[in-house]
């Protein structure tokens, strides 16, 4: 059958506000995410017999049933009634570091859902598509939209925003693994004492940026840097390389720096890489660019 290959873009968080603990045990979040031009590549083909096989070239990334793309395919076939008659072969070429706060696995899952839908010749209702994405993880739904995205609740209730202005970024990863569950378990809300009303007001103000990117930041950063000083060192390295602003994305360990232009970003990334830090210069991907790249 036909082979479909799609980019699977990473994301960064412009902001991540933690408002407190929810009754279900999760934390209430407000976050603005952005798709960026760092991508894995996912190749998918349908098979005429049941079964899912995922092959991934990423070091330390499993290709079996625990892989998010595998889980996404299984959920898709179950939800569409194709589980008994159709299968898939999926190949993933990794460029996005795993477990780095960049949503690589979540993006793979969303891309798999979109690719299977196209290959199967289906057009799922939006509510069904997003329900499938939410069942796979909090970051998966944002990759069904792309561009600049507001996430609320656990971060899995998402809304497309007016795109932030284009920006040249450098993403740096210090190479430490920061377990998300541990970060939230150790995060102390009293450190920030958020007032939900004030938080929302500042959040709405941040949505209006057009000339410059302000109000970036991450409530989890202090807790992560306390236990993983390498993250703070990477942030300092970005600022030392000329970043206008720098902060941690997601629950870590990657940090992001804003640069004045693409040339400055490329030079900074090369400088950091020469000194042993994984670093990539990227541009933001707006919603039209995202939809075009994935063939929406």
Coil/strand/helix, residue 290:
helix
| Cβ contact 15:218 at 8 Å | yes
Q: Among this protein's residues, is 139 annotated catalytic?
A: yes
CA atoms of 266 and 269, how far apart (whole Å): 5
Coil/strand/helix, residue 47:
strand
| Cβ contact 202:214 at 8 Å | no
User: CA of 184: how far to CAs of 28, 114, 249, in Å?
Assistant: 11, 30, 14
Q: Which of 11, 17, 163, 219 is catalytic?
A: 11
User: CA of 63: how far to CAs of 87, 88, 158, 274, in Å?
Assistant: 15, 13, 28, 31
| Cβ contact 251:106 at 8 Å | no
Q: Which of 17, 139, 163, 286 is catalytic?
A: 139
Length of the chain as a residue count: 296
Catalytic residues: 11, 139
């Amino acid at each position: 059958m036909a082979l479909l290959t799609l980019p699977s873009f990473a994301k960064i968080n412009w902001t991540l506000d933690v408002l407190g603990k929810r009754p279900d045990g999760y934390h209430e979040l407000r976050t603005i995410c952005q798709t960026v031009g760092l991508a894995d590549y996912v190749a998918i083909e349908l098979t005429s017999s049941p079964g899912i096989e995922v092959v991934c070239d990423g070091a330390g990334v499993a290709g079996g049933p625990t892989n998010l793309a595998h889980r996404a395919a299984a959920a898709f076939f179950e939800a569409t009634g194709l589980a008994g008659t159709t299968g898939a072969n999926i190949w993933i070429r990794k460029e996005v570091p795993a477990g780095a706060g960049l949503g690589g696995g979540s993006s793979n899952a969303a891309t798999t859902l979109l690719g299977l839908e196209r290959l199967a010749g289906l057009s799922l209702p939006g509510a069904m598509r997003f329900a499938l994405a939410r069942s796979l993880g909090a970051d998966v739904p944002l990759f069904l939209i792309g561009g600049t995205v507001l996430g609320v609740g656990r971060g899995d209730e998402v809304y497309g925003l007016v795109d932030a202005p284009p920006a040249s970024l450098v993403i740096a990863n210090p190479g430490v693994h920061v377990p998300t569950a541990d970060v939230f378990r150790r995060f102390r809300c009293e450190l920030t004492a958020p007032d939900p009303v004030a938080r929302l007001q500042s959040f709405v103000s941040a949505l209006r940026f057009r000339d410059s990117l302000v109000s970036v930041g991450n409530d989890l950063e202090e807790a992560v840097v306390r236990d993983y000083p390498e993250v703070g060192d990477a942030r300092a390295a970005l600022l030392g390389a000329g970043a206008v602003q720098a902060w941690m994305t997601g629950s870590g360990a990657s940090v992001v720096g804003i640069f004045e232009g693409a040339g400055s970003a490329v030079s900074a990334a090369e400088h950091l890489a020469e000194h042993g830090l994984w670093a990539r210069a990227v541009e933001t991907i707006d919603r039209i660019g995202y939809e075009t790249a994935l063939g929406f």
